[in-house]
Amino acid sequence: MAANLLEEPILDLERILQLIPQKPPFVMVDSLLEYTEKTGTTAFTIPEDNILVEDAIFSEPGLIEHMAQSMSLWRGYQGFTSGLNKPKTGFIGAIKAVEIIELPKAGTKLTTYVEILQEFLNVTSVGARTEDENGNLLATSEMKTVTVD
């Protein structure tokens, strides 16, 4: 297992916002817990007033966007470590697979594990697994993200 390259978790939302291109109210990550060359662990406590919460439940698009932004946060920190002072913009190019086992309630703390499966030029294939604070698996996905300059 690769070593965590973070000296300490990044829990400050202002710092997180410097690492991702997304801006409120469309931010679906609030912490970077671990970072290695090929993996990352993020967290997000779902606010009740989140734009993708419906009837106190975090929606399917919310979970998918959270997984994509977890990848974006990994990429943003990677850019920061290589000297970039602004995150690159990216988007979901393709979703190969997504399985949503359970939708979490507002207030739930999500933990997501991302793994870089393959990179070629500006396209990254990434796998993601999201759990709640009790370790229950909520969703998995495999998607391709595209980074643009």
CATH of the domain at 23: 3.10.129.10
**Total number of domains in the chain:** 1
pLDDT in tens, 58-114: 999 999 999 999 999 999 999 999 998 888 888 899 999 999 999 999 999 999 999
CB count in 10 Å sphere of residue 113 = 18
Residue among 132, 140, 144, 141 nearest 57 (CA): 132
Residue 104 lies in domain: 13-148
Q: Is residue 4 part of a domain?
A: no
To the question of pTM greater than 0.75 for the whole model, the response is yes
Q: Is residue 5 part of a domain?
A: no
pLDDT in tens, 20-31: 999 999 999 999
Q: Is residue 8 part of a domain?
A: no
Report the distance separating Cα 122 and Cα 88, nearest Å.
11
Chain centroid to CA 107: 17
Q: Is residue 1 part of a domain?
A: no
pLDDT at 148: 87
Q: Is the pLDDT of residue 149 over 80?
A: no
Q: 149 versus 52: which is more confidently predicted?
A: 52
